[in-house]
Amino acid sequence: MKDFIIPAIDIKDGALVRLKEGKFENVKVYRQNPVEQFKLFVELGFARIHIVDLDGAQLGIPKNLKLLENMLKQKNKAKVEIGGGIRSLQTAKLLFDIGVDYIILGTMAVKNKEEFIRLLELYKNKIILSVDAKNGKVAVGGWEEESSMSPCDMARIYDDYPIESYLYTNINIDGTLTGVDINPYKDFKKCTTKPIIASGGVASLEDVVKLKTVANGVVVGKAIYENKIDIYSL
């Protein structure tokens, strides 16, 4: 299970937080020191850890690099994926240079296709394409702006390029602990040949088991921090 569950660390103003439904006004702080939480996930043996720089997502440039560097020093064998504010080749290079294994991008793929394709060719199979779905459309700019593209439109454009996987987030239920709806993932799976990482709404281990039928991994945040999933017994 620790190869399938990808625990999430969302950072805002230097603290570990979770948003509800992707809204920055619906924020809850869980821990003041994200580095300690990161170390715990590594010690428990999770294969991959998911980090989001929420300040970066809003501003368009990473804002918590020092914290990230401190985490990466502790990563041991764990792989680290990071998203939030990565909208240029320069930023991507900086993150890879400090030891990030995968970077997650969505906005650049919609707004700057040419540069995004250059990035895919430079960093083959190290880019996760973020498909953040809200009301059937892909949201960008820290989820605050809705595009005209559907998730399958994204896959049709980029599926032949060397992306590592798609991170498909159901924004409408993200951070709500309402349980997962596997239908959007089933639909999206028909549009792609690449691995899919699921995100949004996980409320129990039963949800995780359900997602194993359609996804290659699942990002879990609030269910861990609200003790709905006991990470010590996995």
DSSP, residue by residue, 163-183: --EEEEEEGGGTTS-S----H
Q: Is 230 a catalytic residue?
A: no
Residue 232 lies in a domain: no
pLDDT of res. 58: 85
pLDDT of res. 59: 86
Residue 231 lies in a domain: no
pLDDT of res. 36: 96
pLDDT of res. 225: 96
pLDDT of res. 89: 93
Q: Is 10 a catalytic residue?
A: yes
pLDDT of res. 232: 95
- Tell me which residue range forms the domain holding 151: 5-225
- Write down the catalytic residue from 53, 55, 132, 207: 132
CA distance 228 to 57: 27
- Write down the catalytic residue from 10, 55, 174, 207: 10
CA distance 187 to 133: 12
If one counts the domains in the chain, the total is 1
Read off the CATH number of the domain in which 125 is found. Answer: 3.20.20.70
Residues of the chain with pLDDT under 70: 21, 142
